[in-house]
Homo-oligomer: A and B are copies of this chain.
């Protein structure tokens, strides 16, 4: 680790100056990184994985400091568990880097090419975005995951993790950049903000021209702050209020299986279904679906029709249709048909992931076209909304904004494009 990033300032921090300095160094590193061959980046990422494995004792020692400080501050057990590393988790981090190392390199990939009548050959190719700022909470693994995904896509990264995991992040970062540097990745390509001062977050959000895009990874309050304050573009999603609509032409066994998985496989992830809509033509399915969920320990908040099928169903209020529970709670409602389902999703959803269960291809295509979400599914669990499940290998999050990347943000989505035009002396008439 270099001296310049080692010392913590004792006096009040000039966060703007700190970010400006990191941003300038990142920009210079990005220019070098953009020219590295796919093979060099692959070797560098594998070397980073090896360096992290080799640094296991140092990382565990640093993690012990974070855990001790966390306990002293009275952190909750769940929080401490998220922060805690052991040899197995560090091996998982190293393996994660190797997964990213094995991903196809997006830089230079030809997206489209064509010839013009005047003989000009035009190619649209992928190019790195430049400098990515990642703001996250206290999961130390993000330091390695996010840094690696940026390197794979040819971008410099400025990482700002939660102060509670600072010692752990610093140890992981030190090992990672040492491994990366062995294969030509500049030390400044992956920089860690080595202070917990929250002013740095504000400075990053305002760093137009220094940071090209911000990716927040964490809970809603973090994402909301980033989306509200940022002057730099943001790739993120705030809410994951996902729907599963059981159409009149649905297969009951499939509906039961998919709804159960979509709601209950993991209730805390952003692709979990929060509202189940059932078509009037499938009203007979209300009872088995509600009962299945209740029996599985899920609270059901329903409209009048749903309340009628099981005494355990609680009445839904207007707020329920807009709520992302992130818990074993579901809202249920009878709707007229697929058009009413689309209207409900468009009004109450968060444009993240929504699904229809149906055997009717016409209803399926109507739902796919009419629902304006990043991911629209037919006959599948909304919990598949995940970069890994899409085959991206790794993702840095899921975006619901309308520009640049929508859906899972993997290495490819961390690139921009440029046009390469090859001629033989053409001049414009």
Contacts and interface: CB of A to CB of B under 8 A. Distances in A.
Contact of A258 (B31, B391, B416, B427): B427
A251 B364 contact: no
Contacts of A421: 375-378, 380, 384
A420 interface: yes
Interface stretch (A14-22, A301-309, A365-373): A365-373
Nearest to A343: B31
Contacts of A61: none
B120 A428 contact: no
Nearest to A271: B428
Contact of A423 (B212, B377, B403): B377
Contacts of A370: 35
Contacts of A216: none
Contacts of A368: 420
A427 B381 contact: yes
B212 A402 contact: yes
Q: Which of A35, A262, A404 has the most CB of B within 10 A?
A: A404
A263 to B, nearest CB: 11
Contacts of A243: none
Contacts of A425: 251, 254, 257-258, 379-380
22 contacts: A34-B372, A122-B390, A129-B402, A213-B403, A257-B425, A258-B427, A261-B428, A265-B428, A377-B421, A377-B422, A378-B420, A378-B421, A378-B422, A379-B423, A379-B425, A380-B425, A380-B427, A383-B427, A384-B426, A386-B428, A389-B428, A390-B419
